Amino acid sequence: MLKIGCHLSASGGFLRMGKEIVSIGGNTFQFFTRNPRGGSAKAVDEKDATDFRAFAEKNGIPVILAHAPYTLNGCSADPSIRDFATRTMADDLMRMEYVPGNLYNFHPGSHVGQGIEAGIEMIAEMLNTILKPEQQTTVLLETMAGKGSEVGSRFEELREILDRVKLQEKMGVCMDTCHVNDAGYDIVNDLDGVLTEFDKVIGLGRLKAIHINDSKNPIGAHKDRHEKIGEGTLGTETILRVMRHDALKELPFYLETPNELDGYEREIKMLKEMY
Ligand code: FE
Ligand code: FE
Ligand code: ZN
Protein backbone atom coordinates (compact mmCIF):
# COMPACT_ATOMS: atom_id res chain seq x y z
CA MET A 1 0.00 0.00 0.00
CA LEU A 2 1.25 3.45 -0.92
CA LYS A 3 2.28 5.47 2.14
CA ILE A 4 2.21 9.14 1.31
CA GLY A 5 1.90 12.36 3.24
CA CYS A 6 3.54 15.69 3.85
CA HIS A 7 5.11 17.92 6.42
CA LEU A 8 2.51 19.31 8.85
CA SER A 9 2.58 21.96 11.53
CA ALA A 10 2.85 20.22 14.89
CA SER A 11 0.74 22.74 16.76
CA GLY A 12 -2.30 21.11 18.30
CA GLY A 13 -0.63 17.76 18.80
CA PHE A 14 -0.57 14.27 17.32
CA LEU A 15 -4.31 13.68 17.06
CA ARG A 16 -4.86 16.98 15.25
CA MET A 17 -2.10 16.11 12.75
CA GLY A 18 -3.58 12.64 12.26
CA LYS A 19 -6.99 14.13 11.45
CA GLU A 20 -5.42 16.73 9.20
CA ILE A 21 -3.46 14.25 7.09
CA VAL A 22 -6.50 12.01 6.65
CA SER A 23 -8.55 15.05 5.62
CA ILE A 24 -6.14 15.82 2.77
CA GLY A 25 -5.89 12.24 1.52
CA GLY A 26 -2.60 11.14 3.12
CA ASN A 27 -1.84 8.26 5.48
CA THR A 28 1.44 9.37 7.05
CA PHE A 29 2.98 12.70 8.02
CA GLN A 30 6.13 14.46 9.13
CA PHE A 31 6.35 17.20 11.76
CA PHE A 32 8.98 19.21 13.60
CA THR A 33 9.46 18.04 17.17
CA ARG A 34 9.76 21.68 18.20
CA ASN A 35 10.26 25.10 16.69
CA PRO A 36 12.74 24.57 13.84
CA ARG A 37 14.92 27.27 15.35
CA GLY A 38 15.36 24.88 18.26
CA GLY A 39 13.41 26.30 21.23
CA SER A 40 11.96 24.22 24.01
CA ALA A 41 9.15 21.74 23.36
CA LYS A 42 5.85 21.61 25.18
CA ALA A 43 5.30 18.98 27.87
CA VAL A 44 4.24 15.59 26.50
CA ASP A 45 0.45 15.29 26.37
CA GLU A 46 -0.02 11.62 27.18
CA LYS A 47 -3.72 11.62 26.40
CA ASP A 48 -3.05 13.13 22.98
CA ALA A 49 -0.46 10.42 22.27
CA THR A 50 -2.85 7.67 23.37
CA ASP A 51 -5.76 9.13 21.39
CA PHE A 52 -3.54 9.45 18.34
CA ARG A 53 -2.40 5.83 18.55
CA ALA A 54 -6.03 4.69 18.53
CA PHE A 55 -6.83 7.06 15.66
CA ALA A 56 -3.81 5.90 13.64
CA GLU A 57 -4.80 2.27 14.13
CA LYS A 58 -8.39 2.90 13.07
CA ASN A 59 -7.55 5.14 10.12
CA GLY A 60 -4.58 3.23 8.75
CA ILE A 61 -1.67 5.55 9.54
CA PRO A 62 1.12 2.96 9.59
CA VAL A 63 4.02 5.21 10.58
CA ILE A 64 4.92 8.84 11.27
CA LEU A 65 8.19 10.73 10.95
CA ALA A 66 9.43 13.29 13.44
CA HIS A 67 12.00 15.79 12.18
CA ALA A 68 14.60 17.35 14.47
CA PRO A 69 15.01 21.13 14.29
CA TYR A 70 17.22 21.79 11.28
CA THR A 71 19.44 24.07 13.32
CA LEU A 72 20.50 21.16 15.52
CA ASN A 73 24.22 20.66 14.91
CA GLY A 74 25.99 17.81 16.64
CA CYS A 75 29.30 18.67 14.94
CA SER A 76 29.53 22.38 15.67
CA ALA A 77 32.95 23.70 16.65
CA ASP A 78 31.29 25.16 19.74
CA PRO A 79 30.92 22.56 22.52
CA SER A 80 27.88 24.33 23.96
CA ILE A 81 26.06 23.99 20.60
CA ARG A 82 27.01 20.31 20.45
CA ASP A 83 25.76 19.87 23.98
CA PHE A 84 22.48 21.58 23.10
CA ALA A 85 22.08 19.26 20.09
CA THR A 86 22.68 16.22 22.29
CA ARG A 87 20.19 17.30 24.93
CA THR A 88 17.58 18.28 22.33
CA MET A 89 17.79 14.97 20.49
CA ALA A 90 17.73 12.95 23.71
CA ASP A 91 14.62 14.85 24.80
CA ASP A 92 12.95 14.38 21.39
CA LEU A 93 13.59 10.64 21.50
CA MET A 94 12.23 10.39 25.02
CA ARG A 95 9.04 12.06 23.74
CA MET A 96 8.81 9.74 20.74
CA GLU A 97 8.52 6.78 23.11
CA TYR A 98 4.92 7.93 23.75
CA VAL A 99 4.22 7.01 20.11
CA PRO A 100 6.52 3.99 19.87
CA GLY A 101 7.69 2.32 16.69
CA ASN A 102 8.06 5.42 14.55
CA LEU A 103 10.86 7.36 12.85
CA TYR A 104 12.99 10.38 13.81
CA ASN A 105 14.97 12.15 11.10
CA PHE A 106 17.79 14.66 11.48
CA HIS A 107 20.29 16.54 9.33
CA PRO A 108 23.67 15.08 10.29
CA GLY A 109 25.23 18.52 10.78
CA SER A 110 27.68 21.09 9.43
CA HIS A 111 31.33 20.71 10.32
CA VAL A 112 31.95 24.47 9.92
CA GLY A 113 35.50 24.14 8.66
CA GLN A 114 36.68 21.40 11.02
CA GLY A 115 36.60 18.89 8.15
CA ILE A 116 34.25 16.08 7.20
CA GLU A 117 36.12 13.47 9.24
CA ALA A 118 35.97 15.53 12.44
CA GLY A 119 32.27 16.12 11.77
CA ILE A 120 31.58 12.44 11.27
CA GLU A 121 33.33 11.58 14.56
CA MET A 122 31.31 14.13 16.53
CA ILE A 123 27.97 13.10 15.03
CA ALA A 124 28.65 9.45 15.84
CA GLU A 125 29.76 10.40 19.35
CA MET A 126 26.50 12.28 19.87
CA LEU A 127 24.46 9.29 18.69
CA ASN A 128 26.42 6.96 20.95
CA THR A 129 25.59 9.20 23.90
CA ILE A 130 21.88 9.34 23.07
CA LEU A 131 20.75 5.99 21.65
CA LYS A 132 19.34 3.51 24.15
CA PRO A 133 18.89 -0.26 23.68
CA GLU A 134 15.28 -0.04 24.87
CA GLN A 135 14.19 2.80 22.56
CA GLN A 136 11.54 1.96 19.98
CA THR A 137 12.21 4.79 17.57
CA THR A 138 14.48 4.44 14.54
CA VAL A 139 16.78 7.44 14.05
CA LEU A 140 17.39 8.46 10.44
CA LEU A 141 20.29 10.35 8.91
CA GLU A 142 19.03 12.51 6.03
CA THR A 143 20.92 12.60 2.74
CA MET A 144 22.03 16.22 2.36
CA ALA A 145 22.53 18.60 -0.58
CA GLY A 146 26.08 19.55 0.44
CA LYS A 147 25.31 23.20 1.09
CA GLY A 148 28.14 24.95 2.95
CA SER A 149 29.95 22.43 5.15
CA GLU A 150 27.07 19.96 5.48
CA VAL A 151 28.04 16.41 6.32
CA GLY A 152 26.07 13.66 4.59
CA SER A 153 25.84 14.67 0.93
CA ARG A 154 27.89 11.60 -0.08
CA PHE A 155 26.56 8.15 0.75
CA GLU A 156 30.07 7.29 2.00
CA GLU A 157 29.79 9.94 4.72
CA LEU A 158 26.52 8.50 6.01
CA ARG A 159 28.10 5.06 5.94
CA GLU A 160 31.01 6.30 8.01
CA ILE A 161 28.66 7.71 10.64
CA LEU A 162 26.68 4.45 10.76
CA ASP A 163 29.90 2.44 11.08
CA ARG A 164 30.80 4.35 14.26
CA VAL A 165 27.41 3.96 15.95
CA LYS A 166 27.27 1.17 18.52
CA LEU A 167 23.48 0.58 18.44
CA GLN A 168 23.32 0.33 14.66
CA GLU A 169 19.95 -1.45 14.73
CA LYS A 170 18.43 1.85 15.91
CA MET A 171 19.67 3.69 12.82
CA GLY A 172 18.47 4.21 9.26
CA VAL A 173 18.59 6.71 6.42
CA CYS A 174 16.01 9.07 4.90
CA MET A 175 16.65 9.94 1.26
CA ASP A 176 15.59 13.38 0.05
CA THR A 177 15.13 13.56 -3.73
CA CYS A 178 15.96 17.29 -3.92
CA HIS A 179 19.04 16.82 -1.78
CA VAL A 180 20.47 13.83 -3.66
CA ASN A 181 19.99 15.69 -6.95
CA ASP A 182 21.69 18.77 -5.57
CA ALA A 183 24.45 16.57 -4.16
CA GLY A 184 25.18 15.26 -7.67
CA TYR A 185 23.33 11.93 -7.88
CA ASP A 186 21.48 11.58 -11.18
CA ILE A 187 18.07 10.26 -10.15
CA VAL A 188 16.48 11.83 -13.28
CA ASN A 189 18.40 9.73 -15.80
CA ASP A 190 19.79 6.90 -13.70
CA LEU A 191 17.68 6.14 -10.64
CA ASP A 192 18.71 2.47 -10.80
CA GLY A 193 22.37 3.44 -10.83
CA VAL A 194 21.95 5.75 -7.83
CA LEU A 195 20.10 3.07 -5.88
CA THR A 196 22.72 0.47 -6.78
CA GLU A 197 25.34 2.88 -5.48
CA PHE A 198 23.32 3.45 -2.30
CA ASP A 199 22.98 -0.29 -1.84
CA LYS A 200 26.70 -0.88 -2.32
CA VAL A 201 27.77 1.90 0.06
CA ILE A 202 25.06 1.88 2.74
CA GLY A 203 22.65 -0.97 2.00
CA LEU A 204 19.08 -0.45 0.85
CA GLY A 205 17.90 -2.18 4.03
CA ARG A 206 18.90 0.97 5.91
CA LEU A 207 16.58 3.17 3.85
CA LYS A 208 13.45 3.85 5.93
CA ALA A 209 11.80 6.96 4.43
CA ILE A 210 11.85 9.21 1.36
CA HIS A 211 11.37 12.97 1.14
CA ILE A 212 9.80 13.59 -2.27
CA ASN A 213 10.65 17.12 -3.37
CA ASP A 214 11.34 18.65 -6.72
CA SER A 215 14.45 20.89 -6.88
CA LYS A 216 14.85 24.48 -8.03
CA ASN A 217 18.43 23.72 -9.05
CA PRO A 218 20.35 21.54 -11.49
CA ILE A 219 22.15 18.37 -10.49
CA GLY A 220 25.23 18.98 -8.34
CA ALA A 221 24.24 22.56 -7.44
CA HIS A 222 24.69 21.96 -3.67
CA LYS A 223 21.85 24.37 -3.02
CA ASP A 224 18.87 22.67 -1.26
CA ARG A 225 15.95 24.71 -2.58
CA HIS A 226 12.83 22.56 -2.74
CA GLU A 227 10.30 23.05 -5.54
CA LYS A 228 6.71 21.95 -6.05
CA ILE A 229 6.34 18.56 -7.78
CA GLY A 230 6.60 19.02 -11.54
CA GLU A 231 7.87 22.60 -11.35
CA GLY A 232 11.55 21.87 -10.86
CA THR A 233 14.50 20.09 -12.45
CA LEU A 234 13.37 16.59 -11.38
CA GLY A 235 9.86 16.57 -12.78
CA THR A 236 6.79 14.55 -11.89
CA GLU A 237 7.95 11.44 -13.77
CA THR A 238 11.15 11.21 -11.71
CA ILE A 239 9.16 11.47 -8.48
CA LEU A 240 6.75 8.78 -9.69
CA ARG A 241 9.65 6.52 -10.69
CA VAL A 242 11.00 6.88 -7.15
CA MET A 243 7.60 6.02 -5.66
CA ARG A 244 7.11 3.02 -7.95
CA HIS A 245 10.62 1.61 -7.69
CA ASP A 246 10.66 -1.97 -6.39
CA ALA A 247 13.33 -1.13 -3.83
CA LEU A 248 11.41 1.90 -2.52
CA LYS A 249 7.69 1.33 -2.97
CA GLU A 250 7.11 0.02 0.56
CA LEU A 251 8.69 3.09 2.18
CA PRO A 252 6.75 6.13 3.42
CA PHE A 253 6.97 9.21 1.14
CA TYR A 254 6.83 12.76 2.48
CA LEU A 255 6.32 15.98 0.56
CA GLU A 256 8.36 18.94 1.82
CA THR A 257 7.47 21.16 -1.10
CA PRO A 258 6.79 24.90 -0.77
CA ASN A 259 3.07 24.55 -0.12
CA GLU A 260 0.32 25.33 2.33
CA LEU A 261 -2.14 22.59 3.22
CA ASP A 262 -4.27 23.06 0.07
CA GLY A 263 -1.18 22.72 -2.14
CA TYR A 264 -0.14 19.54 -0.33
CA GLU A 265 -3.65 18.18 -0.78
CA ARG A 266 -3.41 18.78 -4.55
CA GLU A 267 0.04 17.16 -4.79
CA ILE A 268 -1.02 14.10 -2.77
CA LYS A 269 -4.11 13.72 -4.97
CA MET A 270 -2.12 14.12 -8.19
CA LEU A 271 0.60 11.65 -7.15
CA LYS A 272 -1.93 9.08 -5.92
CA GLU A 273 -3.86 9.29 -9.17
CA MET A 274 -0.79 9.06 -11.37
CA TYR A 275 0.78 6.32 -9.25
FE1 FE B 1 15.23 17.60 6.40
FE1 FE C 1 14.25 16.68 3.48
ZN1 ZN D 1 16.05 20.36 2.05
Ligand with minimal distance to 66 CA: 1
Ligand with minimal distance to 254 CA: 2
Q: Residue 43: its pLDDT value, please? A: 83
Task: Please name the residues in contact with 61: beta carbons below 8 A apart, sequence gap of 6 or more.
Answer: 18, 21, 22, 27, 28, 29, 55
Q: What is the tally of structural domains in the chain?
A: 1
Q: Residue 140: its pLDDT value, please? A: 98
- State the DSSP string of 227-251: E-TTSSSSHHHHHHHHHH-TTTTTS
Collapsed DSSP state (helix, strand, coil) of residue 179: helix
Ligand with minimal distance to 105 CA: 1
**Separation CA 269–CA 274 (nearest Å):** 9
CA distances from 227 to 101, 120, 178 (A): 31, 29, 8
The reply to whether the predicted model has a pTM over 0.85 is yes
Range of the domain at 98: 3-274
Q: Which residues surround ligand 2, an ion (CB under 5 A)?
A: 176, 211
- CB burial readout 39-68, b (16+ within 10 A) else e: eebeebeeebbebbbebbeeeebebbbbbb
CATH number of the CATH domain containing 182: 3.20.20.150
Q: Residue 40: its pLDDT value, please? A: 78
Cβ proximity of 72 and 52 under 8 Å:
no
Q: Residue 35: its pLDDT value, please? A: 80
- Residues (pLDDT < 50) of the chain are none
Q: Quick: pLDDT tens for 198-211.
A: 999 999 999 999 99
Ligand with minimal distance to 177 CA: 2
Distance from Cα 179 to the centre of ligand 1, integer Å: 9
Q: Which residues surround ligand 3, an ion (CB under 5 A)?
A: 224
Distance from Cα 199 to the centre of ligand 1, integer Å: 21
Q: Quick: pLDDT tens for 137-168.
A: 999 999 999 999 999 999 999 999 999 999 99
Distance from Cα 142 to the centre of ligand 2, integer Å: 7
Distance from Cα 144 to the centre of ligand 2, integer Å: 8
Distance from Cα 44 to the centre of ligand 1, integer Å: 23
Distance from Cα 106 to the centre of ligand 1, integer Å: 6
**Separation CA 198–CA 16 (nearest Å):** 36
**Separation CA 265–CA 263 (nearest Å):** 5
The CA radius of gyration of the chain, in Å to the nearest whole number, is: 18
Q: Residue 38: its pLDDT value, please? A: 64
Cβ proximity of 67 and 32 under 8 Å:
yes
Distance from Cα 5 to the centre of ligand 2, integer Å: 13
Ligand with minimal distance to 256 CA: 2
Ligand with minimal distance to 141 CA: 1
- State the DSSP string of 7-38: EE--TT-HHHHHHHHHHTT-SEEEEESS-TT-
